[in-house]
Structure 1
Amino acid sequence: MLNMELDVTQILLATAGLLLTYFLIGWLKDPIRKIPGPPGLPILGNVLHLDTENLHHQFFGFARQYGAVMKIRIFTVPVVIINSKEACLEALTKTGTDFQGRPPLKRLLEIVPKDIVFQNVTEEQVMMRRIFYKAMKAYGPGIGHLENIMQETLRDMVDSIDQKGNQAIDTVNLSVGYVCCVIAAMLFGEKHSYDSEVCRRMNQVNEELVAATDPFTSGGALDAVPFLFQFKFLFRESHKMLNSATKTVNDFINMTLQEVKACHDPNQKRGCVDYFLEVQRQELSEDGATLISDDHLKGLLLDFITAGLETSRRSLSQIFLDLLHDPALQKKLQAEVDSQFEPAHTITLKDREKLPQVESYLLEHFRYLTQIPLMVPHMTIRDTKVAGYKVPANTVVIMNSFYTAHDPDVYDEPFKVKAERFLDENGQLVDRDHPYRENFLGFGAGRRACPGEVLAKSRIFLFLVNILQKYTVELAGELPDRDVRKYPMSILLAPPSVKVRFVRRQ
């Protein structure tokens, strides 16, 4: 009996030794272990130490401590964070498609199975991105028809503000109304009013989709550990939001496609949706099957709506905070507009070169806010390297654009808004290769750069100069803090809303 007990003990010890050896060898072979990062706990990793509401600020501190490339672990899963501009550009532009994958986001894929932002780099994704860019080129900024509609939308906005007189106006509602109208004009080729059914439903689609897929709520566990998706009783609220968003999205897309298809004329394409439908009709496989399904159209439409609406409205909210926190800035920008144009002049996109101070402020605004502070997560699709570190295939990688845009080694007082920061000694914009401009990666870089960057900057410019030309913005209530380090975040940072009065300039 004693010998049998000794045999069992020896077997258990041998087994434990083998397991320990197995894990030790695996640890020694893991190239991720050589990347520095904050210490974590067994099994849990760094989960308990992460401040999910202010992750951008926490990662800023990590970047100062651990350098160009670092790692954390979500439970046992490693995540590589790239902090320096040089390492970000190496990964995004110099390694082919090595870093161009996307981690699977289960909740989003339930609603939008095909799109260009969150889908992996595949032939299908490349095809959709090509169609998206062609539509942007055909109906985007620089096209007289679209700019005319944008100007009409701005005139409607001004009329609406004037009708409210001295009433307080919520800046978020105003911004959402303007951006919805511009996106609707681009998609459908015709003007819509702020309170139109199309604009109302676009905003509802955006709000429900963003809320249902927020990675920093409890539902984020469904993305990180997909098998939990089967246990609906554990995440009832997340599933309820997901089901509601799916219905809202599908109802809107089906209604939109049905209405546009009913009056589609191949010889008179009014906007991007007409263009998408024509591509769907023409692009066929060798056996005559359509290459562009309605699911592809759904993804393209949602990319236009959600990416465009969510980013622009937050950007405009920040602009109002800047004007209210710094009345001297508002006066300076108004003085430049006044010096170049008569009050009755309609400022167009071609007038931008005459307003270097406005342009400099906008560059500073985008830098300071960096509203997608950690970009959309990437994933390596093969074993690769960055900044000398080996990174295995299927590793989640985060580009810390918040740090590159606030790097104190590049920017003096990076957490202050300095409208003149991007002007040279002659009062003109610094060159594109200036470190101030190169270090800002808020719109991404390389193959996965934001395709809507030009459009976003154009509509924000037109909005700002119209406000500056016609009104002085005054506070109507409490003035929130504008310290970007304190903004709560999901994928995007959320500047607080503020109520203002628009005083007509004489």
Structure 2
Amino acid sequence: MVNELLIIVLLCLMVWGYWRNHGADDAYPPGPPTIPVLGNLWTLRFQLHHDTFIQLSRVYGDVYTVWLGHIPVIVLNGYRAVKEVLSSHNEDYIGRPVFPLFMDLMGEKGIVLTSGHTWKQQRRFGQVVFRNLGLGKGNMEMGIQEEAQSLLTLFATQEGAPMDPSPWIMHSVSNVISALVFGKRFPLENKAFQELHKATELVVAAPGTFWARIYDLVPNIMRHLPGPHQRAFHYFHTMCSFIQSEVQGHHEMLRNGSRGPGQERNVIDYYLTQISKTQGDPNSTYNEENLVHLVADLFMTGTETVTTTLRWAILYMMVFPEIQGKVQLELDTVLEPSHVIAYEDRKRLPYTNAVIHEIQRFGNIVSVGVVRKCMKETKLGRFKVPQGTIILPNLSSVLYDPEQWKTPREFNPQHFLDENGTFVTKEAFLPFSAGHRGCLGEQLARTELFIFFSNLLQRFSFHVPEGDSDVRLDCVQSATLQPYPYRVCAVLR
């Protein structure tokens, strides 16, 4: 009797899985066949890997549906499909779905994981405060230049010996965003700041793991089981506690009169002023809970993206010494040795600028991009897409699109240069995504990458350490695509 009941249950699950995938053709673009309970998770190997999605597009086209358990996700591949959703139908797809893991971990607070009215207010605040703090102006560049010099000093202490550059890069980059959100930088030995780095690595990595797929499949069970996901919860709580203590310190300055409206110097100052201004407004989403999560969002994204890109940058220069040499020749020819490198110098350094863009294209740290949610029923090609549907724009497929790039799977700075050696922009260059939900800190990240990279190449030559000939150029799959750990010899020029 028990065996017969089990067979009936399995048959029901199989019929349900078949109906869900094939009976929903009018609502969702067709995709690979599903299996009961798991959907397409087995096909995807429980990971959202960009190459897997590109391979599936060769069978099912540029727009198809995969099922993450019981959740349908429409995947977009190639420049044309991705651009249509991120730009042409921008208002239809500006929502942000929150999967169970991130709902439990971070909730719908701050800016990255919010939608609708909350997101609009928080993003608008971020745009205004970044401008107020000097984004794109000289005073913000000065802070980046100081951190770049600090990084050069750290590298120089190794005197060309093999080293892992990652911790020092992360420290210098995170101090740039720390100055913006906290109003101060932290010394290398600060233990609390080191814990923030651990939190950033674990929380950012969480959605790209096998454990995340299992958690989203059975959250009621996973909440009570040990595993890597519990470390992410612990460290995110640590991060929020640190931020809350910083907020309390800013509160004290407001109370004792040492800081007030018109004297704001960082994100926390401006946000507390905004809370005070909007007290009593029933439509306001400005509160300390959203403040803590906004700061966490800015710190994690501002640290992780630039750090990982610079790690790829040093790796590529080490592996492609002829390209490194051309960058250094241009820097030496155009800039005086005593010149303080500024973002404006990119206009005089087309090859250096092209190499940085190619690092972002080829290194492609964003992998598949951040998911979107349909805010209303709409159409995608010939398909009706229900409100609430999740859209996954595979940004890697754009950065590797053979219709847009001459040698998409090769590191080639010529992608961004014309026949005269002049730098050219490309519409398919979308490492920061596009549209209203594009990266809030894009301008800051561009400035950091140019100033850090140019300073590093002006001061050092990067070489593969003796005995480390087997350098890997493939990536570690995570929420961002990171290089495998490596060592480098940074030799003063």
Corresponding residue for 1:380?
A: 374
Report deviation, 1:347: 1.0
Match for residue 147 of structure 2?
153
1:296 aligns with 2:290: yes
Pair 1:357 & 2:345 matched: no
User: Runs of 5+ in structure 2 lacking a partner?
Assistant: 1-10
**SS of 1:247's equivalent?**
helix
Distance 2:221 2:97 in 1: 16
Partner of 1:488: 476
1:85 to 79, 101, 104: 79
Matches within 5 A, 1:253-272: 253-264=243-254, 265-266=259-260, 267-272=262-267
Is the 1:208–1:245 contact (alpha carbons within 8 Å) kept by the matching residues of 2?
yes
Is the CA contact (8 Å cut-off) linking 1:376 and 1:491 kept in structure 2?
A: no
The letter of the residue matching 1:244 is H
1:108-158 CA distance string (max 9 Å, x none): 233433021122x21111100111111211225323222212222222222
User: What secondary structure, in the 3-state scheme, does the structure 2 residue paired with 1:73 have?
Assistant: strand
Distance, in Å, in 1 between the alignment partners of 2:379 and 2:247 is 44
**Residues 1:456 and 2:432 aligned together:** no
Distance change in 2, residues 1:262/1:198 (3 Å): farther
Report the number of matched residues. Answer: 474
The one-letter code of the counterpart of 2:372 is H
RMSD: 2.7
Q: CA deviation at 1:336?
A: 0.5
The answer to whether the Cα contact below 8 Å between 2:164 and 2:488 also exists between their aligned partners in 1 is: yes
Deviation at 1:242, TM superposition (A): 4.3
Out of 126, 129, 140, the position equivalent to 1:132 is 126
Letter in 2 for 1:450: C
Distance between the aligned counterparts of 2:174 and 2:95, measured in 1? Answer: 30
In the TM superposition, structure 1's runs of 4+ consecutive aligned residues that sit over 6 Å from their partners are 23-26
Measured at CA, do residues 439 and 188 of structure 1 come closer, stay the same or move farther in structure 2, by a change above 3 Å?
A: same
SS of the residue corresponding to residue 135 of structure 2 reads coil
C-alpha distance in structure 1 between counterparts of 2:312 and 2:321, whole Å = 14
Contact 1:330 1:468 in 2 (8 A): yes
Whole-Å separation in 2 of the counterparts to 1:29 and 1:146 = 51
- SS of corresponding position for 1:313: helix
In 2, distance between residues paired with 1:220 and 1:38? 18
Secondary structure of 1:98 counterpart: helix
CA contact (8 A) 1:371 1:493 kept: yes
Distance 2:428 2:146 in 1: 36
The counterpart of 1:221, out of the listed 214, 219, 237, is 214
The structure-2 alpha-carbon separation of the partners of 1:190 and 1:105, relative to structure 1 and needing over 3 Å to count, comes to same
Q: Give the match for residue 468 of structure 1.
A: 457
Q: Provide closer, same or farther for how the CA distance between residues 228 and 385 of structure 1 changes in structure 2, counting only shifts above 3 A.
A: farther
SS state at 2:211 partner: coil
Q: Is the 8 A contact 2:46 2:213 kept in 1?
A: no
* 2:482 aligned counterpart, secondary structure: coil
Q: Secondary structure at the match of 1:177?
A: helix
Match of 1:439 among 420, 428, 442: 428
The 1:255/1:204 distance shift into structure 2, 3 A limit, reads farther
Q: Which residue in the other structure is 2:65 paired with? A: 71
Matches within 5 A, 1:17-28: 28=23
CA distance, structure 1, for counterparts of residue 32 and residue 22 of structure 2: 17
Pairing 1:7-156 to 2, within 5 Å after superposition: 28=23, 30-32=25-27, 35-52=29-46, 55-113=49-107, 114-119=109-114, 121-156=115-150
1:277 is matched with 272
Q: What residue is the counterpart of 2:4 in the other structure?
A: none
Q: 1:227 to 1:140 in 2, by over 3 A?
A: farther
Q: 1:454 to 1:322 in 2, by over 3 A?
A: same
Q: Which has the larger radius of gyration?
A: 1
The Cα shift of 1:481 comes to 4.5
2-structure distance, mates of 1:26, 1:41: 9
User: 1:413, CA displacement in angstroms?
Assistant: 2.2
One-letter code of the match for 2:340?
T
Q: 1:504 and 1:151 mapped to 2: Cα distance?
A: 19
- Other structure's SS at 1:37 match: coil
> 1:503: which partner in 2?
491
Matched with 1:7 is: none
Provide the rounded CA distance (Å) in 2 between the counterparts of 1:254 and 1:312: 25
Q: CA deviation at 1:191?
A: 4.1
1:367 to 355, 361, 369: 361
Distance 1:38 1:481 in 2: 36
Distance in 2 (alpha carbons) for counterparts of 1:69 and 1:326: 36
Residue 427 of structure 1 deviates from its aligned partner by 1.2
Contact 1:380 1:395 in 2 (8 A): yes
Aligned partner letter, 2:209: F
What CA deviation, in whole Å up to 9, does each residue of 1:147-170 have, x standing for no partner? 212222222222222233233221
Q: How does 1:309-324 map to 2 (within 5 A)?
A: 309-324=303-318
Whether the aligned pair in 2 keeps the contact of 1:201 and 1:252 (CA below 8 Å) is no
How big is the shift at 1:325?
0.9
> How far apart are 1:255 and its partner, in Å?
1.4
- 1:327 pairs with 2:317: no
1:416 Cα deviation (Å)?
0.7
In structure 2, the partner of 1:10 is none
The one-letter code sitting in structure 2 at the alignment partner of 1:144 is G
Q: Within 1, Cα distance between the matches of 2:450 and 2:386?
A: 42
CA contact (8 A) 1:317 1:496 kept: no
Matches within 5 A, 1:343-354: 343-354=337-348
Is 1:428 paired with 2:422? yes
How far apart are the structure 1 equivalents of 2:155 and 2:471? Answer: 25
Q: CA deviation at 1:368?
A: 1.0
Q: Tell me how far 1:198 sits from its aligned partner.
A: 5.8
Partner-residue secondary structure (3-state), 1:447: coil
SS in 2 for 1:236: coil
TM-aligned CA distance change 1:146 to 1:76, over 3 Å: closer
**C-alpha separation between the residues in 2 aligned to 1:474 and 1:81?**
40
* Aligned twin of 1:250: 240
Secondary structure in 1 matching 2:123: helix
Q: Which amino acid aligns with 1:462?
A: I
Distance 1:427 1:88 in 2: 29
Letter in 1 for 2:245: M
SS in 2 for 1:124: helix
Q: Cα gap change, 1:456/1:479 in structure 2, threshold over 3 Å: closer, same or farther?
A: farther
C-alpha distance 26-206 of structure 1, shift in aligned 2 (>3 A): closer
Aligned to 2:3: none
Partner of 1:406: 400
Greater mean alpha carbon deviation, residues 236-245 or residues 306-315: 236-245
Deviation per residue, 1:425-469 (Å, 9 max, x gap): 221112x4xxxx212322111111111111111111111110111
